Structure 1
Amino acid sequence: MNQSPLELRHLKTVVALADTGSVSRAAERLFLTQSALSHQLKQLEAAYGLELFARKSQPLRLTPAGERLLTLARQLLPQVAAAERDLARLREGEAGELRIAVECHTCFDWLMPAMDTFRSHWPAVELDIVSGFHADPVGLLLSNRADLAIVSDMEPQPGVVHRPLFAYEMVAVLARDHPLAAKKSLEAADFAGETLITYPVPDDMLDLLKKVLKPAGVNPKRRTSELTVAIVQLVASRRGISALPFWAVVPYLERGYVVARPIAGGLQSELYAALREDDARLAYLDDFLATVRDTSFASLPGLSALG
């Protein structure tokens, strides 16, 4: 009997292609170059003598052969992941503690679904969110008051390691009748005469200010609010403009409450997980980070992978 050319990496590739609808975005998610992913697909297609997807379709469309492999992947990959978790439990034990500290107000939109999925994977791990918003979540790690911190920068610190989660686009959010809504993209100067509505955090935690406005010498008036929905309401009422993650404002865009525009051609923000170095190899922490990435890419629009 001939050896099958099919490997787990091929099934992961088919899933990424189906989820993203793009070879380039699938390659990002799998931490491959686009040429490496294309070469992998060509080898598999040559082995079976069938095309797996229609190359000229936009978004990408799987062929019947690709759909059959996708069905297999959806069935098999969760079983492989479950078996690997079982092996990790045998090695490390089932119980543990995972206290999560966050520095971003919009983290809960993707964190809660990931936590729900994780609980089914590791029911004996005590999972909790450290109460409140924290300007220095890594400090909670080092004082043993948290086990994982969600941060926007990888600042090297002794005893701390960082793992990439994902990148996302920040967009300008405007009232539908705002004069700037006529522009295709906003630049730093467009914010100069406006009131900028932000979360109540230090300036160095706001990528719009750090990456776009301050380098251009622009310092607009400010107004703050704790809640995304309140910021959107203020924007819709022409009390100011804001910059928010694209995925966080999609529901309001779909309802026509506000409009969104790119900033400086596409302002990207990043999220990382910070862990104590001594905990970095714990299987349940690895699984939690994989769960965050999987659930976020499956449910949030406009994400891209971090290397």
Structure 2
Amino acid sequence: MEYPEIRHLVAFTTVLSAGGFTKAARILNLTQSALSHQIKTLEDQLGVQVFARIGKRIVLTQAGEILLTHATTVLRELADARQAILELQDPGRGRLRISSAGYSCYLLLPRLLQEFKAEYPRVELSVAADYTGEAVQHLLEGILDVAIMVTPPPVRGLIVEPLATDELFVIVPAAHPWAKRRRVSWEELATQVLITYNKASQTHQLLLHRLAQEHATPPETMEVREAEAVTEMVKIGLGIAVVPPWVVREDLRRHRVKALTLGRTGLKRSWAIAYLQGKKLPPYSQAFIKICRERFAALMAGEHYDEH
């Protein structure tokens, strides 16, 4: 039996984490036929099928489950070896793979990276905008080093440090009938179209869970897979959004939208930074985590940000 090639193991784990061949092919910058050929070659080398189709879903076979455990370890060890060699050649060099959820990726993360790069200019950065579920999986698979996320339920194998807490508000356009109000009830949400960037996100699931607790009917939902487009659609009256004020700070200041409290007590969520338990973090990873501990909450609150 031939040993699998590293690129085939990467293809295999990417198909699984992406949830299918179409998205995995985009991530790997391959055609679907090229990706399918790599998986077929892997299966031929192993003499077994690693994926099976159930309807439109792709699932792991028993052999695939075994391969996943070992492939994840192999790829993680190779990434660690690469980093260790880079650090040996130059302690200021390395690679940091970061994920930051949703709006934080383009509204908060750039300022954190600005400070980080001032201290570690030769560290190569890779940034993804994963939602919490994706980020957790990618951390465990060794695809990411650090992830900023809405706090997940406890996950074995991860260290999850709290960073901040924010509150979700109903965002409506300035001309909306609710715009002169201060709050809306949970039941009233069902009368509107809710615009969200990802139904699978931890934030959307938190909202659905709270709606169930309040015995309120979930609203009709429009999913827009670009976070930046959500508030633009709200402003032209296509629906409402449930986001924190820091996402629409400028629009609030210019009175283009209005933020309304949800119910009598509001809806809060917590943010965290997560990384793999038991993995020795290089100095630059530790430095980035320290910057997040010190700066993330202040950036979210819109407080003055000192340049260093």
TM-score tier by shorter-chain length is 0.5 to 0.7
Q: 1:199 pairs with 197, 204, 220, which one?
A: 197
1:141 aligns with 2:139: yes
Report what 2:121 is aligned to. Answer: 123
Task: Map 1:216-231 onto structure 2 (within 5 A).
Answer: 216-217=214-215, 218-231=217-230
**d(CA) in 2 for partners of 1:126, 1:242:** 35
Give the AA of the match of 1:291: I
Q: Which amino acid is 2:172 matched to?
A: L
SS at match of 2:256: coil
1:179 is matched with which residue?
177
Per-residue deviation at 1:130? 3.5
Structure 2 residue 252 is matched with structure 1 residue 253: yes
CA contact (8 A) 1:208 1:243 kept: no
- What value does the CA root-mean-square deviation take over the aligned residues? 2.8
SS state of the match for residue 108, structure 2? helix
Q: Secondary structure at the match of 1:169?
A: strand
Task: Report the 3-state secondary structure (helix = DSSP H, G, I; strand = E; otherwise coil) of the residue aligned with 2:229.
Answer: helix
Normalised to the residue count of structure 2, the TM-score between the two structures is 0.61
Paired residues of 1:168 and 1:302 also in contact (CA < 8 A):
no
8 A Cα contact 1:203 1:210, kept in partner? no
**2:40 match:** none
Q: Which amino acid aligns with 2:231?
A: V
- Which structure ranks higher in relative contact order (CA pairs < 8 Å, sequence separation ≥ 6)? 1
Q: In the TM superposition, what is the alpha-carbon distance from 1:203 to its structure 2 partner?
A: 6.2
**Residue in 2 aligned with 1:4?**
none
- The equivalent of 1:242 in structure 2 is 241
Three-state SS of the structure 1 residue aligned to 2:184 is coil
Contact 2:148 2:273 in 1 (8 A): yes
Change beyond 3 A, Cα 1:203–1:162: closer
The alpha-carbon distance between structure 1 residues 187 and 293, as it changes in their structure 2 partners (threshold 3 A), is: farther
Count residues with an aligned counterpart: 214
What secondary structure sits across from 1:249 in the alignment? helix
TM-score by length of 1: 0.61
Tell me, which stretches of 5 or more residues in structure 1 are unaligned?
1-88
Report the Cα offset of residue 248 of structure 1: 0.9
Q: Please tell me whether the aligned partners of residues 193 and 220 of structure 2 are also in contact (alpha carbons under 8 angstroms).
A: yes
Maintained 8 Å contact 1:203/1:209? no
1:253 to partner: Cα distance: 1.0
Among all aligned residue pairs of Structure 1 and Structure 2, give the percentage whose two residues are the same amino acid. 25
- Read off the aligned partner of 1:170 and give its amino acid letter: L
